[in-house]
Amino acid sequence: MLMHSRMLTLGSPAADFSLPDPSGGVHKLHDFDNAQGLVVAFLCNHCPFVKHILGGFTAYARDYGSRGIAVVAISTSDIESYPEDSPEHMARLAAEYGFGFPYLFDESQQVALAYEATCTPDLFLFDQQRRLYYRGQFDGSRPYTEWDVKFGTKRNTVPVDGADLRAASDALLAGRSPPEDQRASAGCSIKWKPENEPGWTFPPKPAHTN
């Protein structure tokens, strides 16, 4: 199901986390204290919207990691219903794409709830004080999906270049105010466990989305 990010209020503090990677190493929010900025990205293995941006996203992480912006990715899928999102498969995906950043498993889904994550990908850029600076789409590119066929829309040909997140990151590093035009991310719905499904599962489509 196509979903859009909730666009959490700018200035919101980054929620704390302590989550394992597939090898069992634990990573915490404070591990990134020295970074000038931090991207928290909710991803999952099976989502076509995530697969569509992964090459561009790993390039972004590489380019901006050298400039002081750290990246951490989190998968929060219910793996009983979606076993392809299990830590074993997370490790394979990270190796395939050469992730240079931690890919963590939020089994309880409490971190996703704290960030009010809605879709995959759902991206949050925090400043050095870990206040929300940007949230929204990686760029305007979208994958070709069965949803497009059903509703007769055209295949998106916008390049996967991370234009929106890169522009926000450049502004943050330059000490400028957050971009005024922030567009919601679009992607698959987060695969919640039934007991965790939040009230925002079916929000109205926000403005400035495609």
Q: Is residue 118 part of a domain?
A: yes
pLDDT, position 207: 43
pLDDT, position 155: 65
pLDDT (tens digit per residue) in 3-22: 899 999 999 999 999 999 99
Question: pLDDT-based confidence at 147, cuts 50/70/90?
Answer: low
For helices 48-65 and 87-97, angle between their N-to-C axes, nearest 10 degrees: 60
Region 132-150: what's the mean pLDDT?
A: 80
Q: How far apart are CA 87 and CA 33, in angstroms?
A: 26
> Residue 159 pLDDT more than 90?
no
> Residue 145 pLDDT more than 80?
no
- Hunting for tokens 């992730």 — which residue is that? 99
Checking 58-61 for CB contacts under 8 A at 24+ apart, the result is 58/97, 58/98, 58/99, 58/100, 59/162, 60/138, 60/162, 60/165, 60/166, 60/169, 61/99, 61/100, 61/101
Q: How far apart are CA 19 and CA 189, in angstroms?
A: 21
pLDDT, position 3: 87
pLDDT, position 142: 87
| Cα separation values, 11 from 47, 76, 126, 142, 150, Å | 29, 24, 8, 28, 38
pLDDT (tens digit per residue) in 35-52: 999 999 999 999 999 999
Region 196-206: what's the mean pLDDT?
A: 65
> Residue 116 pLDDT more than 90?
yes
Assigned token pair, 10 = 């700018």
Assigned token pair, 9 = 């209020």
Backbone angles phi, psi at 186, to 5 degrees: -125, 140
Q: Is residue 168 part of a domain?
A: yes
Q: Is residue 153 part of a domain?
A: yes
The residue type of 145 is: T
Q: Is residue 209 part of a domain?
A: no
Q: Is residue 205 part of a domain?
A: no
Q: Is residue 188 part of a domain?
A: yes
Rg over CA atoms, the chain: 16
CATH number at residue 83: 3.40.30.10
Q: How far apart are CA 83 and CA 26, in angstroms?
A: 22
Q: Average pLDDT over the chain, rounded to whole?
A: 91
> Residue 203 pLDDT more than 90?
no
pTM of the model: 0.90
pLDDT (tens digit per residue) in 69-88: 999 999 999 999 999 999 99
pLDDT, position 1: 73
> Residue 195 pLDDT more than 50?
yes
What range defines the domain where residue 23 resides? 2-196
Q: Is residue 202 part of a domain?
A: no
Q: Is residue 159 part of a domain?
A: yes
Q: How many domains does the chain have?
A: 1
